[in-house]
């Protein structure tokens, strides 16, 4: 399966018995803005609450759960190791790439993000349901954790010296430069030293991923031999830029899971535009 599919492809495959559609919509964004589309689902979609699939014991938002926990939750949702998955959300492309990346980490790569998400589906007057499909059976999903796709604070801190990968930050330019405040109260803005900035909005156009040529232009400062690691505020929008890079490189890149929230809270070194 491709990493990103369009609405035509999904409509043509709605009745594929091996296809599982996950709705990763949330009522509000990370910035507490209410998402306009509520109570509409692509036919057959199962509600996939990202918060339920995150580490319940972590003080950081959206962090990965243990493979055992993820495996158990997937089985409860009727997901098996042969499932072909399409994930979408009601913000267009926002929450769904995080789900895509999580499944990659857990060893399941037969998953795609719906380009344009639920807004595109509705805009094209395709059928919707008022409720998600109820899960009526468990299944045999097996997690195979890929540690190479996850970077820790210790990994990023060590990289300041050994420089084995390059960090790309998906936050806004103002937050990256340290000239705009972080949405989380008490958190300093700025960036990890030696990192570069590609705001997640820059890889999108009207709720869809930009063309390969446009994406290549955004990543022109990186080398094809360079290993990239993606970061953001909480590990969410980093996955949008990571997926965009995958579309032009065919690489699945690691994400710094704790991202800026962990880095700034832990007292890691911070660079700003003026520094």
Given 156, 204, 215, 232, the catalytic residue: 232
Say if CB 183 and CB 233 are below 8 A apart: yes
**Whole-angstrom distance, CA of residue 26 vs CA of residue 135:** 19
**Whole-angstrom distance, CA of residue 87 vs CA of residue 89:** 7
In sequence order, the 6+-apart residues with CB closer than 8 A to the CB of 151 are 165, 229, 254, 255, 256, 257
In residues, how long is the chain?
A: 275
Say if CB 118 and CB 25 are below 8 A apart: yes
End-to-end Cα distance, the chain: 45
CA atoms within 13 A on the CB side of 247: 27
Say if CB 255 and CB 235 are below 8 A apart: yes
Q: Is 74 a catalytic residue?
A: no
**Whole-angstrom distance, CA of residue 217 vs CA of residue 100:** 24
**Whole-angstrom distance, CA of residue 41 vs CA of residue 49:** 14
Burial label for 154, CB within 10 Å (0-12, 13-18, 19+), is: exposed
**Whole-angstrom distance, CA of residue 108 vs CA of residue 101:** 9
CB atoms closer than 10 angstroms to residue 204: 19
Q: Which residues are catalytic?
A: 232
């Amino acid at each position: 399966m491709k990493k990103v599919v369009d609405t035509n492809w999904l409509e043509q495959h709605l009745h594929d018995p091996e296809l599982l559609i996950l709705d990763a919509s949330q009522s509000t964004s990370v910035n507490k803005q209410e998402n306009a589309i509520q109570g509409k689902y692509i036919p057959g979609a199962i509600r996939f609450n990202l918060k339920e699939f995150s580490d319940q014991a972590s003080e950081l938002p959206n962090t990965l759960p243990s493979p055992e926990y993820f495996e158990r939750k997937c089985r409860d949702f009727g997901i098996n190791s042969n499932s072909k998955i399409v994930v979408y959300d009601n913000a267009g492309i926002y929450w769904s790439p995080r789900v895509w990346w999580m499944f990659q980490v857990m060893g399941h790569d037969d998953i795609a993000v719906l380009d344009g998400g639920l807004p595109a589906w509705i805009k094209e007057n395709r059928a919707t349901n008022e409720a998600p499909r109820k899960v009526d059976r468990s299944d045999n999903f097996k997690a195979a954790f890929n540690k190479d796709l996850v970077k820790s604070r210790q990994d990023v801190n060590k990289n300041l010296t050994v420089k084995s990968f390059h960090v790309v930050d998906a936050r806004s330019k103002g937050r990256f430069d340290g000239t705009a405040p972080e949405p989380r109260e008490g958190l300093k803005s700025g960036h990890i030293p030696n990192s570069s900035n590609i705001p997640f909005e820059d890889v999108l156009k009207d709720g869809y991923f930009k063309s390969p040529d446009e994406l290549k232009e955004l990543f022109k400062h990186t080398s094809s031999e360079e290993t990239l690691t993606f970061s953001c505020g909480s590990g969410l929008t980093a996955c949008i830029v990571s997926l965009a890079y995958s579309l032009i490189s065919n690489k699945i890149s690691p994400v710094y899971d704790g991202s800026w929230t962990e880095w700034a809270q832990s007292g890691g070194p911070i660079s700003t535009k003026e520094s």
